[in-house]
Amino acid sequence: MTPGSAARATRAWEVERDTWQEAERPPLLGLIDRVERPADHSHTPLARTDEDVQARFKELADQWLTETGHLSSISQRVLNPSYQQIIGLGPQVVPCLIESLREGPQHWFSALVAVVGVDHAFGARTPSEAASRWVAWFDATTSDDE
């Protein structure tokens, strides 16, 4: 698959996802609720390698930081198209998000909740505490798999 066709497939899936969300979500939920339904990627017409996802994540994360790093509103930052596309990468992006958190707190908490479907840092008061909890959850989960 060429980068161009991958991008087209990703955009097609995003349109489908947005249509689905608009059709099925109650209208009065908060902004974050609109992006927090665990994504069903079983129908995604795109087979991506982990390397593809890592490269795409880095590209999107850099763009997102450039466009929103000076903003304080998490809702505004989460609604940025690059952040939405990171969420759209689905479960394969979780290791990328966790690796980023190992380097220090970063605002991937909403993305993790959206992709994983559970807030494993619920109750954490600070970004550092939430980052530690997500990393601990990931390490425990992956060690269980081994």
Nearer to other proteins, 103 or 146 (CB): 103
Closest CA to 141 of 112, 114, 100, 104: 112
Q: Which is nearer to other proteins, 22 or 129 (CB)?
A: 129
Tokens of 11: 């955009």
List the one residue out of 35, 54, 53 whose CA is nearest residue 44: 53
Contact map string, positions 39 to 78, toward other proteins, x by CB under 8 A: -----------------------------xxxxxxxxx-x
The smaller minimum CB distance to other proteins, of residues 35 and 96, is found at 35
CB atoms within 10 A of CB 111: 25
Q: Which stretch binds other proteins (CB under 8 A): 13-21, 46-54, 86-94, 130-138?
A: 130-138
Choice between 16 and 129, CB closer to other proteins: 129
Q: Using the rule CB under 8 A, is 34 a contact of other proteins?
A: no
- Only one residue has tokens 């999107």, namely 60
Residue type, 103: E
C-alpha closest to that of 83 among 104, 103, 113: 113
Q: Segment 96-115, which members bind other proteins (CB under 8 A)?
A: 104-107, 109-110, 113
The set of residues, in sequence order, having a beta carbon less than 8 Å from that of 88 and lying 6+ positions away, is: 10, 13, 14, 17, 39
Q: Which residues bind other proteins (CB under 8 A)?
A: 29-33, 36, 68-76, 78, 104-107, 109-110, 113, 119-131, 133
